[in-house]
Structure 1
């Protein structure tokens, strides 16, 4: 009995010792885009010995004066496994200001854009010029303060007295490289010098927390409830204050890491009508309300309980024609080949389709599908990413593509008499047998449109796609030249679990280049077709390019097996690299 008691006591002492060694300041995980549109998440720097963050503001002269010291710090420690990032949290700065500063002074490090100031608040930064050292796996703050001070040699003839320098920052970095984290029972702090940062919204919300009924609930209704509704695709329904308050810690985590809202396109490249943008002020309202304890407020009415569910699953009303996909039994377990079906259409005359909507029979098993217009009884197998002159792409269903799709004004998809709908359906099992009965709703134009709407699949192919095990940035690219002048309306990147980021751009015939869309943090679980608010004209001879990367490392939480060499293929654990371009030619059909 005594032996058991002593062993228990020793275990408690050991646990307390470990906790004490980790007692220094912690921060939450976070993610931001940098001034070039690349995505950075603290957790994904887990292979780094430490992450050094330097607070920067374009109007801070002290930042510019210390630039040689920043460069020396980076060149001294970067090759030893330390990552360096800039952080711009100035309310006065825009992306163009940061890019100009970098172009003029060559900071030569990624500068994260913290327009909402939420990351600076998370890190406790108060000045431009402040330096933070983080351990990226434990989210531990090892150091905060300024750069080390150089020693000064006495020069009596100039009235300069000798002064000792400091090595606190260098000592901290040396300890992290040696793996000596037990010495950081407290965050090492020194005085930071630089330009004061102002946090007007934080100060406002500290004096009066955002109101749930008048400030928080309207944001949730506008940006979240369409998915977070009973029976929706989200894991919980935002149908009351109690539900939101209960999930508020998770809400903060997914907002701070940019997992939500989904469809996180680069907001500085074009504008897309379905990109689910959230303004910095909206992010501040939500996070500051959660940090204040998610108070209910004084309103007697809970706005989220007043939201009525849609009257019909068909967003545009009853379709002109409903295509019923043959029922398919999905077994409880196993790997299924793609299901290809061809359904003849009974139309006795040519028609033009203006809008389409897929209603999945069982979202738990239908991962995605592609629909095409083909000749009746067409039985050629669909290969995703390949183009076929006998097929016209209609629309697809995938996570994030629940909404009805409407083609641009004066454009539609032509359906000749004697046509069929061909579908390729990808089912996944989830431990229980079920039957899927998917429907496709077609909405016709009243008059014949001027333009034939088309989609081109730009693909690397996949046959020579090989991603080595463990690699975190495996690059790929592909390009295509449009021989005709076209008006570009929609874009969709498609990769699988290891997809990391993809950028679409075009090179005009005169050699100039424009970005079209940047998806800096690709999400396999969210694959909408992004609709341009203002279509882009591509002159004849324009080359479109897709450039992206895969993450086959352990830091990709969706990676099924970081130790596997991955090849191209149809299943989700294989990979694809496809960019879809939806357009119409400018000459009338």
Structure 2
């Protein structure tokens, strides 16, 4: 089975977390002395990444000084560094100077220089060795900004704006806090909002180490990270920093403790009360406590002479053999901008299949893992619209951390002759412009060896309208009937940024198969059952979703609007994908189970299409009400030829 486990977009957050119990405070929870507004900045005496020594006197000609704490690997710092550079250029002639301060213990001058070059930064950037300036100002996060007036008195501190945060990204900021504070100061007025909460990565300070600590990096921590984190947190993968070297990991110790405690890492959202899953990502209570204790002890190194070897990296394709078919997802490399929200990209490819093919294994391979949030591939009849109809033909998906495992012997997916491939790609900016050209690889198998078809279908609801401000809007959907002898393999819930919770249940018994109490759009996970679940023929899956269209949902692009079905993230979807194993054997009484399954899916598509066109909801359509491209379908379904298509005819034909 394909194990789809999704990593959060770098533009949306630094990390995301797993289940954890609040055990004890970490060093990150200890308060840092916070200067009062009006405090004077009396000293800057720090080395720049180009070798110059910067002192406060160097900024005498500047009327206002913006001191911005940054980090070379923090995703939000990367994004906001670009914005600070833009402000530096536009405000320099007004006497506003930006200075970047790097206080992380693990950010070397070489790292800082590379960061400045990648982000094309021209304002001064200094290394705050020992964190003296960070301590003096009470800075705790990257990015965090402090604005001083011409008397070098603190007038504003906090975030740059509210576009990016932990777990969310908006198309545009709702409030440009830093720019508004500067404009008010330049106009000679008081800052209307002088303090906001900075969101980002904890500054990795050098701390006193407990020399007799029982928990050390060499003793326990490196092994925990290898088991749960390193597959993504390593060079060349999507994670914003590596967790393979002691000094690097020690600088992130407080942040690691925070994300584990907040249940953002490792990324796993299934309620443990329902279902057992082969791809569950969970830290044990003991492992979590070891991480907390290690951070509390100052991240001691221990014995580094015999560290565990990180898991091997997969070179090239993860498929069981070289793919028989390879397709570019996009015809040309796609250019991802340095910042902002990038709408979903859709690409179509004609594989030119003149006969059905059977897929033993498939893999989507990103061309640039640092910017690919996820890819979904669909195989659909040519000319299908990309939204609901495209979603019917789910083939394979990619999310960061995904690992390809071949299906059991005799199992395969079918791509019908004449299909085209539709790819949905979600890109996330990382603070520097990038390009990507991803690939789909497919391993084929002889149809004669296929005993079971892997069938992906869904419970889907397109007819909903989420009212403005509604924090708990329920939407339900029921799947087509199960074919005979089918087994459930895995489930893939899909909503957009207003998704709040999602649940799968067997309709006849109400048995809950999967519950996601806190749905996170940033992690499009496929939940793979430890053991395939036999299903009763004729039964169905019922999916229940809840949407949050309120202002309290930080992901919500506009809580004042009614939200309906749509492709983009500012629209919504409600799809409960699930994946079945269906025997291909034929009995003497009629069609194969695969044929019955396809008939059920086709019926569901007809009804969904009928309901979309039936504007007055009277259950009847005339040919004039039907789009021209569907006239032939209309004629085929109009059983009595009276020129009126009823919903019953659409269901039974």
RMSD after superposition: 3.2
| 1:490–1:531 contact (8 Å) kept in structure 2 | yes
Which residue in the other structure is 1:327 paired with? Answer: 332
| 1:322–1:440 contact (8 Å) kept in structure 2 | yes
Which residue in the other structure is 1:145 paired with? Answer: none
| 2:477–2:544 contact (8 Å) kept in structure 1 | yes
Which residue in the other structure is 1:93 paired with? Answer: none
What CA deviation, in whole Å up to 9, does each residue of 1:65-100 have, x standing for no partner? xxxxxxxxxxxxxxxxxxxxxxxxxxxxxxxxxxxx
Partner Cα separation in structure 1 for residue 316 and residue 345 of structure 2: 30
Q: Which moved more, 1:491-500 or 1:407-416?
A: 407-416
Partner Cα separation in structure 1 for residue 351 and residue 296 of structure 2: 57
| 1:320–1:443 contact (8 Å) kept in structure 2 | yes
**CA positional deviation for 1:371:** 2.1
- Matching of residue 411 in structure 1 with residue 411 in structure 2: yes
Structure 2 vs 1, CA of residues 557 and 300 (structure 1 numbering), >3 Å: closer, same or farther?
Answer: farther
Which residue in the other structure is 1:454 paired with? Answer: 455
Q: Which moved more, 1:433-442 or 1:281-290?
A: 433-442
Partner Cα separation in structure 1 for residue 561 and residue 246 of structure 2: 44
2:349 to 323, 342, 354: 342
- Matching of residue 578 in structure 1 with residue 575 in structure 2: yes
Partner Cα separation in structure 2 for residue 489 and residue 518 of structure 1: 16
Structure 1 unaligned regions, length at least 5? 1-113, 124-204
1:523 to 520, 525, 529: 520
Local SS of the residue matching 1:344: coil
| 1:115–1:280 contact (8 Å) kept in structure 2 | no
Structure 2 vs 1, CA of residues 489 and 288 (structure 1 numbering), >3 Å: closer, same or farther?
Answer: same
Once the two structures are superposed, the pairs formed by residues 179-258 of structure 1 within 5 Å of their partners are: 209-258=214-263
Structure 2 vs 1, CA of residues 427 and 528 (structure 1 numbering), >3 Å: closer, same or farther?
Answer: closer
**CA positional deviation for 1:453:** 1.1
Which residue in the other structure is 1:74 paired with? Answer: none
What CA deviation, in whole Å up to 9, does each residue of 1:253-312 have, x standing for no partner? 1111111100221223221112212222221222222222221113324446x6553333
What CA deviation, in whole Å up to 9, does each residue of 1:385-442 have, x standing for no partner? 7665xxx432123x346332533443211245x4444113235474766543221111
| 2:379–2:419 contact (8 Å) kept in structure 1 | yes
Partner Cα separation in structure 2 for residue 315 and residue 386 of structure 1: 25
Structure 2 vs 1, CA of residues 365 and 283 (structure 1 numbering), >3 Å: closer, same or farther?
Answer: closer
Local SS of the residue matching 1:476: strand
Which residue in the other structure is 2:402 paired with? Answer: 402
Local SS of the residue matching 1:119: coil
Local SS of the residue matching 1:232: coil
Structure 2 vs 1, CA of residues 337 and 122 (structure 1 numbering), >3 Å: closer, same or farther?
Answer: closer
Partner Cα separation in structure 1 for residue 433 and residue 298 of structure 2: 42
What CA deviation, in whole Å up to 9, does each residue of 1:175-207 have, x standing for no partner? xxxxxxxxxxxxxxxxxxxxxxxxxxxxxx999
Which residue in the other structure is 2:615 paired with? Answer: none
What CA deviation, in whole Å up to 9, does each residue of 1:35-76 have, x standing for no partner? xxxxxxxxxxxxxxxxxxxxxxxxxxxxxxxxxxxxxxxxxx
TM-score normalized with structure 2 length: 0.53
Local SS of the residue matching 2:290: helix
Partner Cα separation in structure 1 for residue 502 and residue 224 of structure 2: 29
Structure 2 vs 1, CA of residues 493 and 236 (structure 1 numbering), >3 Å: closer, same or farther?
Answer: same
- Matching of residue 494 in structure 1 with residue 498 in structure 2: no
**CA positional deviation for 1:212:** 2.0
Structure 2 vs 1, CA of residues 453 and 120 (structure 1 numbering), >3 Å: closer, same or farther?
Answer: same
Local SS of the residue matching 1:521: coil
Which residue in the other structure is 2:634 paired with? Answer: none
Which residue in the other structure is 1:372 paired with? Answer: 378
What CA deviation, in whole Å up to 9, does each residue of 1:526-571 have, x standing for no partner? 1122111111111012231111222334443433344444333211
- Matching of residue 309 in structure 1 with residue 308 in structure 2: no
- Flag the structure with more relative contact order, 1 or 2, with Cα contacts below 8 A and sequence separation at least 6: 2
Partner Cα separation in structure 2 for residue 385 and residue 274 of structure 1: 29
Partner Cα separation in structure 1 for residue 483 and residue 212 of structure 2: 59
What CA deviation, in whole Å up to 9, does each residue of 1:483-506 have, x standing for no partner? 423211010111111212211111
Local SS of the residue matching 1:245: helix
- Matching of residue 355 in structure 1 with residue 361 in structure 2: yes
Partner Cα separation in structure 2 for residue 582 and residue 279 of structure 1: 29
Structure 2 vs 1, CA of residues 420 and 285 (structure 1 numbering), >3 Å: closer, same or farther?
Answer: same
Partner Cα separation in structure 1 for residue 582 and residue 353 of structure 2: 29
Partner Cα separation in structure 1 for residue 491 and residue 442 of structure 2: 21
Partner Cα separation in structure 1 for residue 495 and residue 541 of structure 2: 18
Which residue in the other structure is 1:179 paired with? Answer: none
Partner Cα separation in structure 2 for residue 235 and residue 535 of structure 1: 35
Partner Cα separation in structure 1 for residue 299 and residue 396 of structure 2: 41
Which residue in the other structure is 1:436 paired with? Answer: 436
| 1:229–1:237 contact (8 Å) kept in structure 2 | yes
Partner Cα separation in structure 1 for residue 237 and residue 451 of structure 2: 37
Partner Cα separation in structure 2 for residue 491 and residue 212 of structure 1: 37
| 2:366–2:437 contact (8 Å) kept in structure 1 | yes
| 1:358–1:404 contact (8 Å) kept in structure 2 | no
Once the two structures are superposed, the pairs formed by residues 140-155 of structure 1 within 5 Å of their partners are: none
Structure 2 vs 1, CA of residues 303 and 120 (structure 1 numbering), >3 Å: closer, same or farther?
Answer: closer
Once the two structures are superposed, the pairs formed by residues 256-275 of structure 1 within 5 Å of their partners are: 256-275=261-280
TM-score normalized with structure 1 length: 0.58
Structure 2 vs 1, CA of residues 387 and 232 (structure 1 numbering), >3 Å: closer, same or farther?
Answer: closer
| 2:320–2:406 contact (8 Å) kept in structure 1 | no
